[in-house]
Amino acid sequence: MTAATPSPRYAIYFIPRPDTALYRFGASVLGRDCYTNRDVDPIGGVDALTWTEWVREPRVYGFHATLKAPFHLSSAADEAVLVRAVRDFAADMPAVLVGALAVRELGSFIALVPETRHALLSRLAQACVREFDRFRAPLIAHDRDRRRAAGLSARQEQNLVRWGYPYVNEDFRFHMTLTGPLATADRARALQFLCEKFERLAGHNSLIVDQIVLARQKDKATPFEVICNGVLGHSIYRPQAYFC
């Protein structure tokens, strides 16, 4: 008997355009460019070995905000159809003017989040969750158990069963992860360092969520990389406009 061919995973993310200060900051924090799938020079000012360990987990996913969490394709779907669906969906969705971002602690890790909660970001994420669920294969028992190990509320359990991911709809929070889980003392050090770096390198720009991307992880041993993007608001039926 031969081993089964590894099945790729796909995700719908917001990732800033590669030529933006925000993306350059995020890629340097994680030490990887998910557009080119190459390492980049890590952010300076901290011990490299320590920092590599602190970002080991988010580095796999690249600098991003999740809109539709990673999933395997259903047996009835294929990548080419998913790529077209991403571009078609994006073309008919307006961009979202978010405003300022801030470096914050989220539980045991650190992330960039909007300074104010933004209902229209949640609306975009909900639309992605629903639109692309037709491409998702059902969760296997191992993945369900892994999610449940974190401790889920009743609503999050319902989300996990229905959508394959617990943190959707009312439990969604837009964030761009900068570190993995850290001990309290390490988290305080990393927070101060990242606040200073972000303010200097990218903190003076207003964020516009102007595209979504389709990212693919070929197998568990490889990181996610961008395989296509969809520019928001470019349908001939909907002139480009910002929700704000």
pLDDT computed for residue 213 by the predictor:
98
**Residue 57 falls within a domain, yes or no?**
yes
Please give the Cα distance from 82 to 97 (Å, whole number). 26
pLDDT computed for residue 118 by the predictor:
82
Question: Which domain range does residue 188 map to?
Answer: 9-120+174-236
**Residue 93 falls within a domain, yes or no?**
yes
**Residue 73 falls within a domain, yes or no?**
yes
**Residue 162 falls within a domain, yes or no?**
no
Q: Angle at the Cα of 40 (from 201 to 105), degrees rounded to 5?
A: 50
Residue 67 belongs to a domain with what CATH number? Answer: 3.90.1140.10
Structure tokens at 221: 């041993």
pLDDT computed for residue 235 by the predictor:
54
Question: Residue 6 above 60 pLDDT?
Answer: yes
pLDDT computed for residue 234 by the predictor:
62
**Residue 151 falls within a domain, yes or no?**
no
What domain count does the chain have? 1
Task: Give 101-111 pLDDT, tens digit per residue.
Answer: 999 999 999 99
Q: Could you tell me the CA-to-CA distances from 122 to 27, 142, 152, 170, 205 in Å, in that order?
A: 24, 28, 20, 8, 21
**Residue 116 falls within a domain, yes or no?**
yes
Low-confidence winner among 68-72, 99-103, 146-150, 161-165 (lowest mean pLDDT): 146-150
Task: Give 118-143 pLDDT, tens digit per residue.
Answer: 888 999 999 999 999 999 999 988 88
**Residue 84 falls within a domain, yes or no?**
yes
**Average of per-residue pLDDT values in the chain:** 91
Q: How confident is the model at residue 241 (pLDDT cuts 50, 70, 90)?
A: very low
Question: Residue 242 above 70 pLDDT?
Answer: no
94's CB contacts (< 8 A; 6+ apart) are 232, 233, 238, 240, 241, 242, 243
| Mean pLDDT calculated for residue range 153-178 | 95
Task: Give 61-83 pLDDT, tens digit per residue.
Answer: 999 999 999 999 999 999 999 99
Q: pTM for this one?
A: 0.91
pLDDT computed for residue 149 by the predictor:
87
